A and B are shown apart, each in its own frame.
Chain A
Amino acid sequence: MANGKDGGKTYWLERPGSADKIWWVLIILCVLLTLADFVYEKHPHYAVEKLVGFYSVAGIVFSIVAVLVALGLRRFLMRKEDYYDDD
């Protein structure tokens, strides 16, 4: 942001391409962590834990489900900020 607010300094995060770099690093990290499932010995309590990438799938599915359900709920629950002000 060249608005002079930060004394002409451009932060790394704001340079073009930085967001892409973070994105790809994250994807590589995810792939490596899932592949790691082949390397170590598991001590599962449940059969599903034996599946390769169980926690990977759980992580991404559960977090997206949480957001989508919440978005659905917002239609019913959200009111204006001054909703209670006339009480």
Chain B
Amino acid sequence: MTIEHLSPGLILIVGAVLVPVLRGHLRSAYMLLLPVLCGWQMLNLEMGEFGTFTAFDYSLVMLRVDKLSLVFGYIFTIAAFLSVFYALHIRDTVQQVAGLSYAGAAICAVFAGDMVSLFVFWELTALTSVFLIWAARSERAYRTGMRYLVIQITSGVLLLSGAILIVGETGSITFSQIGIDSLGGKLILLSFGIKAAFPLLHNWLQDAYPEATVTGTVFLSAFTTKLAIYALARGYPGTEMLIWIGATMAVFPIFYAVIENDLRRVLAYCLNNQLGFMVVGVGIGTDLALNGAVSHAFAGILYKGLLFMTMGAVLYRAGTANGSDLGGLYKSMPWTTTFCIVGAASISGMPLLGGFVTKSMILTAAAEEGHWIAWTVLVFASAGVIYHSAIKVPYLAFFAQDSGKRVQEAPLNMLIAMGITAFLCVAIGVYPDPLYAILPYAVNYVPYTTAHVITMLQLLAFATLGFALLQRYGFYPQELRGINLDTDWIYRRLVPRTVAAFMRSLVQARDELRRWRSSLATYLLARVFHYHGPRGILARTWAISGAALWVMLLLGGYLLVYYL
């Protein structure tokens, strides 16, 4: 393996090792340099498979370069750079090393050509990313991190089990289209489904992301779930089941997002809803739909990252991200407000911004293939996302009722990172051709038709009107302090409580048995004492006549038995 065939992600992973040695500005510069080097390496890659070596009878492919892996590689590198920039002000070596190696592991995973390498980097993303949660350094973060880690590792174990079954059947460990016919295929789909936050498997996301550090959440939002979208697009394109799963995913988080108070958790639900669009795209599986899914992942990493950055800045300065405690921050954080609005407009599919040119591809593909139910659901989800994410988040944080909080604007490095990300959101929306050029399939898609623009603007304006109507006439739900039950209730409440109740009854049964045993022993001893004790019938001194009578009876008994 030569240097030009080195997996670009390794630059970040190996490079992260040197971070603790460096100090001050040198460290900052070095950390920014790593993603740049990684990007440089990626731009110089040729298409094909490299870095192959044989282990036992199987050939591992460390570097498979095709259009699908490249587009994810590019956006992961951009996200790594922006996240590092956003986190430059922190002096926490753990987070810096974890963040860089997490990004590197995700990049290595999209370039992995076989299932074993994929598994290794799949697990490495879990192991590195959990430190971004633990870095919040609280008991709460520790517990959340443990839950996150258990679920992520489970996903990896399922991937490995599925891979072993598939190798047993086909004899090949190449990671390409898998399909759900075999048991191995089903296990791997489940593994990908956990990371992609399929409905009922989703809750690690909303549980963990809002508990990570301010900067950690920005890293987290970019890689894990989008790696899963990549894996689904590679392994299960055109699997019809995914259309239904994706449609469900696009809808149910909306309701949670509406009633959630922690704005970073609102964004986590909203992230889940965006993943739903991508999963539908993979499920439809036509060239247009897959391009839509991939490009939506690309744009989504940017605008979702931007929104998490702005809410991170709010948390950093105001000390809370709860909607009920915020409001009026546009006065003290005008730049952050502006960037948040750009991100919000982008996610809601406003023309001239990133979300518009990518989401409409998925909707068009659904309509063209005649999936009218999925199409209706996605239109509903598009309207829902405008309301719950694009309006609610900026409104509650920066406008709404003035909370009286007067804080400093975000640190300069955060502002620059947000500025670049916002610029990219606009750039993709205004000039989507470079993005379309790197998509896996040839694109023959025109986003800016009059019909597209007008209908999208109608949807936007009227969803905003719906919000304004509720707000003006007092039907708008008040933000309440509290948490909402989700599937994590099962493993945080139901299972522990059930197990605890079972253990309690076991202890009771044991105590009962002990009591029973000791009372039985007491009873037996009492009986023995009764017969053999000093006053017992068998311990008495008997009169001769009495004893002679007993002996006679005994002998008589023998005689009788003898004759019988």
Contacts and interface: CB of A to CB of B under 8 A. Distances in A.
Contact of A63 (B454, B466, B481, B486): B466
A67 B383 contact: no
Contacts of B450: 40-41
B483 interface: yes
Contacts of A22: 468
Interface in A43-84: 43, 45-46, 49, 53-64, 66-67, 69-71, 73-74, 76-81, 83-84
A79 B482 contact: yes
Contact of A34 (B368, B451, B458): B458
Contact of A60 (B331, B384, B463, B476): B463
B509 interface: no
Interface in B460-478: 460-470, 472, 475-477
Given A34-B458, A66-B388, A60 B465 contact: yes
Nearest to A85: B140
Given A40-B454, A45-B367, A62-B384, A55 B258 contact: no
Interface stretch (B290-298, B398-406, B535-543): B398-406
B20 interface: no
Contact of B462 (A13, A41, A55, A77): A55
B461 A33 contact: yes
B458 A71 contact: no
B493 interface: yes
Give the bracket for the number of chain B residues in contact with chain A: 35 or more
B454 A77 contact: no
Contact of B383 (A6, A66, A71): A66
A64 to B, nearest CB: 5
Nearest to A1: B402
A53 B454 CA distance: 10
A63 B457 contact: no
Contacts of A58: 379-380, 383, 459, 462
A46 B372 contact: yes
A23 to B, nearest CB: 6
Contacts of A56: 458-459, 461-462
Given A46-B367, A74-B259, A67 B455 contact: no
Nearest to B251: A66
Contact of B466 (A3, A5, A59, A83): A59
Given A23-B472, A37-B454, A83-B483, A64 B449 contact: no
Which of A30, A67, A74, A81 is packed against the most chain B CB atoms within 10 Å?
Answer: A67
B380 A62 contact: yes
A74 B387 CA distance: 17
A26 B465 contact: yes
B292 to A, nearest CB: 15
Interface in A4-18: 5-6, 11, 13-14
Given A58-B383, A74-B477, A79-B485, 11 more contacts: A30-B465, A45-B367, A49-B455, A56-B462, A59-B466, A60-B463, A60-B466, A66-B384, A78-B480, A81-B482, A84-B493
The 9 closest A-B pairs by CB, nearest first: A59-B462, A70-B258, A45-B367, A62-B383, A63-B466, A55-B458, A70-B255, A63-B463, A60-B462
Interface of B: 143, 254-256, 258-259, 330-331, 364, 367-368, 372, 375, 379-380, 383-384, 386-388, 399, 402, 404, 406, 449-451, 454-470, 472, 475-477, 480-486, 492-493, 496
